[in-house]
Amino acid sequence: MLVKQLSLTEENWKESLTKIDFDANLFLLFVSPYFNFKKEILKSLKKKFPKATLIGCSTAGEISGITVKDKSISLTVIQFKKVPIKKVSTPVVNLEGSYKSGERIGEALYSEDLKHVLVFSDGLHVNGADLVDGLKSKLPKVSITGGMAADGNHFDKTFVVNDGNMVEKTVVGLGFYGNHLNVGCGSKGGWDSFGVARLVTKSEKNVLYELDDLPALTVLEQYKKPFVTANSISHLLYPLSVRLNENVTPVIRTIFEANQENKSLICKGNIPEGSTVRIMKYNTDRLIIGAENAALNANKNKNGEAQLAILISCAGRRNVLKQLVEEEVEAVRAAIGEKPMITGFYSYGEIAPFDDFSPCELHNQTMTITILSEC
**Interval 179-226: pLDDT, tens:** 999 999 999 999 999 889 999 999 999 999 999 999 999 998 888 777
Quick one: what percent of the chain has pLDDT higher than 70?
A: 96
Question: Which amino acid type is present at position 255?
Answer: I
| Band (232; pLDDT cuts 50, 70, 90) | low
**Interval 238-283: pLDDT, tens:** 899 999 888 888 999 999 888 889 999 999 999 999 999 999 999 9
Judge whether residue 22 has pLDDT over 70. Answer: yes
CB contact set of 322 (below 8 Å; sequence gap of 6+): none
Judge whether residue 162 has pLDDT over 90. Answer: yes
CB 274 within 8 A of CB 200: yes
Domain 192-281: give its CATH architecture.
Beta Barrel (2.40)
Mean of the pLDDT values across residues 151-155?
Answer: 92
Judge whether residue 85 has pLDDT over 90. Answer: yes
Quick one: what percent of the chain has pLDDT higher than 90?
A: 86
Judge whether residue 231 has pLDDT over 60. Answer: no
Residues of the chain with CATH 2.40.30: 192-281
Q: Name the pTM for this structure.
A: 0.95
pLDDT given at position 237:
81
Distance CA 122, CA 212 (A): 33
Greatest C-alpha distance within the chain = 62
Judge whether residue 133 has pLDDT over 60. Answer: yes
- Which of 91, 54, 76, 17 lies closest to 370 in space, CA to CA? 76
What separation, in Å, do the N-terminal and C-terminal C-alpha atoms of the chain show?
8
| Band (230; pLDDT cuts 50, 70, 90) | low
pLDDT given at position 187:
95
Q: What is the mean pLDDT of the chain?
A: 94
- Which of 224, 225, 239 lies closest to 192 in space, CA to CA? 239
